[in-house]
Amino acid sequence: MTGTHTDLYEIRMAASYLRRGMTAPATFSLFARDLPADRGFLIAAGLADCLSFLEDLHFDESELDYLRTTTDLRDEDFDALARLRFTGDVMAVPEGRVVLAEEPLLEITAPLPEAQLVETAMLNSLTFATAVATKAARCRLAAADARLIDFGARRTQGRDAAFIAARASAIAGFTATSHVAAARRYGLTAAGTMAHSYVEAFPSENAAFLAFAQDFPQNTVFLVDTYDTVAGIRAAIDVARHYGIPGDKLGVRLDSGDLRALAQVARTMLDHAGFPQAQIVASGGLDEYALARLTALKAPIDVYGVGTRMGVSADAPSLDTAYKLVEYAGRPVMKLSPGKLTTPGAKQVYRGDVDLLALRTESPREGYEQLLLPAMRAGKRIGPPDTLTAAKKRCGRDLARLPASASRLRDPRPQRVVRSGALRQLTEKLARDTGTTDRDRRNRALP
């Protein structure tokens, strides 16, 4: 990723700052203004992409040529942009952790032009990854002991999104993905059965199952609903017997109809046929609500393939994230736009019985855990690289700690976030100093 993977205004602003030598340290804070409906928490994800982008930030010659011929920038700007790299510091919430509204996912402190330029990329990387990790975590919570497989690749919003969803769902506790390249990139398990087209390409369902069993005796999951599901289960059993496929290699996949009823039928038929270990896989338009329903009904389903609705985070396809300047050259700043008021200053989040949103300059709170940890210093990553396994552990631990009121799927109540006294005082003082209070909004910049 290079420098033009951004909004034009970032480049114009960066150029304007550079012309004036406005290169003092700026801190930007990236957070979700609020949680979408039916979200009691978010799962932080996307940091790895942010750090890669920051490490690599530069404008190559062809980009500068493009800007030269299409924008109103000047020669001096191109020299400065050509030299620009990311030299700043990053504090961030590690991937997999539960975060709440207004809690920074990431704070960047860097010379103002650099910190400004990366806004679009930081928002892009964290917003969807966090949304989809959250969606996947809700699926994980809803599915009790069943295993979950990411089936999202075919309908995610672009190819990147398929990778992001595979990775985010792994953090949230999915055990495999259907997406081969994503499995390869992230060291995940790739999983897959057969499509209806496979069954249809053969003269009969039986013929298709025979071929499949012959070809894949180690992992034989038959898709049984192409024509008639009960008949399909019977055919699967017949073929498994014919080839002597052991029960622990055998499975049937249900992709339509009343999944609970069909799963019960399949379980009974497989058990009676001497395949108590055979797995029942279900898929088809599933999300956390469907999983919770099937779980509550005790549907005997061992594995769920969860696709589109998780992969696009269907009921909350974006988050109301913001990347806001909170301090420049040692001066805390804030925005007063109606409905979009921000709080000033670099922050830390302390997690105890409640979450405490404090200024980073305040002394650490004893007995509280700090959510934001150093991720980059002077443009270089700090410490050993994070792993997906570690992120997954953090996620599992944080989810387990959530009270039921926050983790329930419908109408959850997020945990409280309290602002420290110092943060409240600074916010009030600054609102006053900017000449603006709730009662009397004026802009001190005017004569």
**Binding to its own copies, residues 24-53 (CB under 8 A):** 26, 28
Q: By CB under 8 A, is residue 417 in contact with its own copies?
A: no
Measured CA distances, 281 to 149, 194, 248, 299, 306 (Å): 10, 12, 13, 11, 11
Show contacts with its own copies in window 134-163 (CB under 8 A): 151, 153-163
Q: By CB under 8 A, is residue 11 in contact with its own copies?
A: yes
| Stretch touching its own copies by CB under 8 A, among 80-88, 319-327, 346-354, 395-403 | 319-327
Q: How far apart are CA 94 and CA 389, in angstroms?
A: 12
Show contacts with its own copies in window 191-220 (CB under 8 A): 191-198, 200-201, 203-208, 211-212, 215-216, 218-219
- Per CB under 8 A, the list member of 45, 96, 105, 124 interacting with its own copies is 124
Show contacts with its own copies in window 232-271 (CB under 8 A): 232, 234-235, 238, 255-257
Nearest distance from residue 428's CB to its own copies, in Å? Answer: 16
Q: For residues 405 and 437, which CB has a smaller minimum distance to its own copies in the complex?
A: 437
Q: How far apart are CA 101 and CA 35, in angstroms?
A: 6
Measured CA distances, 77 to 4, 23, 409, 445 (Å): 14, 14, 50, 28
Among residues 177, 114, 124, the alpha carbon closest in space to that of 151 is found at 177
Q: By CB under 8 A, is residue 441 in contact with its own copies?
A: yes
Nearest distance from residue 215's CB to its own copies, in Å? Answer: 5
Q: By CB under 8 A, is residue 67 in contact with its own copies?
A: yes
- Per CB under 8 A, the list member of 56, 228, 428, 433 interacting with its own copies is 228
Q: For residues 137 and 168, which CB has a smaller minimum distance to its own copies in the complex?
A: 168
Among residues 297, 400, 286, 339, the alpha carbon closest in space to that of 43 is found at 400
Nearest distance from residue 44's CB to its own copies, in Å? Answer: 16
Q: For residues 363 and 444, which CB has a smaller minimum distance to its own copies in the complex?
A: 444
- Per CB under 8 A, the list member of 43, 51, 91, 319 interacting with its own copies is 319
| Stretch touching its own copies by CB under 8 A, among 1-9, 289-297, 387-395, 414-422 | 1-9
Q: For residues 340 and 401, which CB has a smaller minimum distance to its own copies in the complex?
A: 340
Q: How far apart are CA 105 and CA 409, in angstroms?
A: 23
> 2-33 burial, b if ≥16 CB within 10 A, otherwise e?
ebbebeeebbbbbbebbeeebeebbbbbbbbe
The neighbour count for residue 197, using CB atoms within 10 Å, is 10
Nearest distance from residue 5's CB to its own copies, in Å? Answer: 5
Q: By CB under 8 A, is residue 167 in contact with its own copies?
A: no
- Per CB under 8 A, the list member of 109, 134, 169, 226 interacting with its own copies is 226
Q: For residues 16 and 370, which CB has a smaller minimum distance to its own copies in the complex?
A: 16
Q: How far apart are CA 269 and CA 276, in angstroms?
A: 9
- Enter the tokens of residue 115: 């910190």
Q: By CB under 8 A, is residue 86 in contact with its own copies?
A: no
Q: By CB under 8 A, is residue 71 in contact with its own copies?
A: yes
Give the distance from CA 199 to its chain's centroid.
Answer: 35
Q: By CB under 8 A, is residue 425 in contact with its own copies?
A: no
- Per CB under 8 A, the list member of 21, 61, 72, 363 interacting with its own copies is 72
Q: How far apart are CA 351 and CA 330, in angstroms?
A: 26
Beta-ladder partners of 91: 107, 374
Q: What is the CA radius of gyration of the chain?
A: 26
Q: By CB under 8 A, is residue 2 in contact with its own copies?
A: yes
Q: By CB under 8 A, is residue 308 in contact with its own copies?
A: yes
Nearest distance from residue 313's CB to its own copies, in Å? Answer: 8
Q: By CB under 8 A, is residue 339 in contact with its own copies?
A: yes
Q: For residues 205 and 355, which CB has a smaller minimum distance to its own copies in the complex?
A: 205
- Per CB under 8 A, the list member of 317, 362, 408, 419 interacting with its own copies is 317
Nearest distance from residue 53's CB to its own copies, in Å? Answer: 9
CA angle 229, 230, 233 (to 5 degrees): 85
Evaluated on CA atoms 431, 433, 439, 443, the torsion sign reads: negative
| Stretch touching its own copies by CB under 8 A, among 86-94, 333-341, 347-355, 400-408 | 333-341
Cα end-to-end distance, the chain, whole Å: 44
CB 208 within 8 A of CB 199: yes
Measured CA distances, 166 to 32, 94, 129, 287, 430 (Å): 22, 18, 10, 15, 43
**Pairing of β 347-351 and β 355-359:** antiparallel
Q: How far apart are CA 94 and CA 391, in angstroms?
A: 7
Q: For residues 40 and 311, which CB has a smaller minimum distance to its own copies in the complex?
A: 311
